[in-house]
Amino acid sequence: MKNKKAPFLFILPGVVLIVTFATLPILVAFVLGFTDMDLSGLVDFKLINFIGLKNYKEILLDEAFWTALKNTLYYVVVGVPAVVVLATLIAIAINFIAGKSEVWFRGIYYMPAITNIVAVSVVWMFIYNREFGILNYILGLFNIESIGWLSDPKFAKFSLVVLSVWRAIGLNMIIMLAAIKGIPSYLYEAANIDGLSMIQKFFKITVPQLKFAIFFVTVTTLIGWFRFFEEPFVMTNGGPLDSTLSISLYVYQQGFSLSEFGYASSISILLFIIIIVITAIQLRVRKKQEV
């Protein structure tokens, strides 16, 4: 009983970091969301006025916000399943390869995840470039008219999703691969004795055993896509015609480009609530499944 303090001391560094860099800023943002803080408010706190729910009322009437919300939902709905399915399939495929080449393939698929987004964006800008890009060059070989991958509002969102899926697969593939390696081999041995086919083994053993890993990957990926920011920030800056604007990017634009800190805070709080609610729902569903 004497040692009750010890566990607290162990978690202290982590708690301090989270409180200073996560909890406190969220609380500050929550308060700022009810103010009209702008650049002058930074100089003199006395110039900040509490304006109640005015920011939130304005958001409801803000067309750009609704566009950003719709775009973000598109990113989530298209991006999350793509990442989860592709990461799982690639992990399974890599698991089939034994020996040294497995290390190579793991490395290759992980590479995009550790490459700097700015470097990535330069390369992809050229791939997507309407006049000089390789994608349109290939289309040209089949006599298909060139497409403005990043400049046509119909395609820009999709182009960013492709890029982002490509970036996200690496990390999630590693998680799935670890989970696959953790499936006890006696399960497959028993299945072999019972004479199950490959497909049966996949659906009856692999998928159920991977349930938790898939759940984990889904939750983290979902949160990640709700906060989709880097790709539109470096590639399109939300354009053309706001077609790639995500909520996070909109927060950034309002806050840092236009110095509307109060308004930006209230949008970020809304995003925070959306993510919390959706994650809570997922945890609920997961619990029910387990029972």
Partner 1 sequence: MKKILSLLVISILVLAGCSSTNASDEKVVVWAMGNEGKMLSSMTELYMEEFDVEVEVVPIPWSEARNKLQTAVAAKEGPDLVQMPSTWLAEFSEVGALADLSEFTDEFANFDKSLYFDGIQGTMEYNGVFTSVPWFADASALFYRTDLLEEVGYTEPPATWDEFLDVSQKLVNQGVTTYGPDFYTGSQLLSFQGAYTNGWEHADAEGKPNFLDPKYAETLEFINQFFVQDLALFEDEINESLGFSTERIAMFFSGPWRISILENDYPELDGKWTVAPLPHNGTETAAISSANFVIWEWSQNKKATAHFANWMLEDEQQVAWYTEASVLPSKKTAWDADVLQNDEMVATFGKILETAQMPPFIPEWETLAQEVIKQTDIYFYGEQTIDETVEKIQLDVTKIVE
Please tell me the count of residues contacting partner 1 according to CB under 8 A: 31
d(CA 228, CA 54): 26
Exactly one of 258, 273, 276, 280 binds partner 1 (CB under 8 A); which one? 258
> Residue 233: in which H helix or E strand, if any?
helix 230-235
* Distance of closest approach, residue 221 Cβ to partner 1, in angstroms: 27
Q: Which amino acid is at 37?
A: M
Q: Which amino acid is at 260?
A: E
Regarding 10 and contact with partner 1 (CB under 8 A), the answer is no
Q: Which is nearer to partner 1, 23 or 197 (CB)?
A: 23
Site string for partner 1, 140-169 (x = CB under 8 A): --------x-xxxx----------------
Regarding 42 and contact with partner 1 (CB under 8 A), the answer is yes
Q: How far apart are the first and last CA of the chain?
A: 35
Helical axes 153-181 vs 100-114, angle rounded to 10° = 140
* Distance of closest approach, residue 114 Cβ to partner 1, in angstroms: 22
Peptide bond into 25 cis (omega under 30): no
Exactly one of 10, 16, 66, 192 binds partner 1 (CB under 8 A); which one? 16
d(CA 234, CA 125): 10
Regarding 49 and contact with partner 1 (CB under 8 A), the answer is no
Site string for partner 1, 221-240 (x = CB under 8 A): ------------------xx
* Distance of closest approach, residue 142 Cβ to partner 1, in angstroms: 20
DSSP state string for 98-116: -SHHHHHHHHHHHHHHHS-
Site string for partner 1, 123-142 (x = CB under 8 A): ------xxxx----------
SS3 letters for 126-146?
A: HHHCCCCCHHHHHHHHCCCCC
The structure tokens listed for 258 are 């236009």
Pair 38, 260: CB distance under 8 Å: yes
Pair 180, 211: CB distance under 8 Å: no
Regarding 58 and contact with partner 1 (CB under 8 A), the answer is no
Exactly one of 3, 6, 7, 43 binds partner 1 (CB under 8 A); which one? 43
Regarding 29 and contact with partner 1 (CB under 8 A), the answer is no
* Distance of closest approach, residue 141 Cβ to partner 1, in angstroms: 19
Bridge partners for 35 per DSSP: 50
Q: Which is nearer to partner 1, 102 or 152 (CB)?
A: 152
List residues near partner 1 by CB under 8 A: 5, 8-9, 12, 15-16, 19-20, 39-40, 42-44, 129-132, 148, 150-153, 239-242, 253, 256-259
